[in-house]
Amino acid sequence: MAEKHVITVNDSEFEAKVKNSELPCLVDFWAPWCGPCKSLGPVIDELAEEYDGKVQIVKMNVDDSPATPGKFGIKAIPTLILFKDGEAVDRITGAVGKAQLKDLLSKVS
């Protein structure tokens, strides 16, 4: 099952699990009430399986952890931010297709 590849983080874990990660991280900022976020979920799971060991796929619920999205100026969800060596290198806002996300991940994998 793909979900085991996706890591869920909150504000207090973000530094340790994303900023200090050995692997590049794709962070999906989402909320359970967000329709486009839900439609993106299966794609995120597939990518987590495909990029296992190359890119860490992380989900953060913006309702449960509002501080981190605020630090990155997230105004709309879903927003996906790609981190490498602890720094945000790119972002996509909105429900996008798998091909667009793979293009984003190709920058670090």
Catalytic residues: 34, 37
Spatial distance between the Cα atoms of 84 and 63, rounded to a whole number of angstroms: 25
State how far Cα 4 lies from the chain centre. Answer: 15
- Among left, alpha and beta (phi > 0; psi -120 to 50; other), residue 75 is alpha
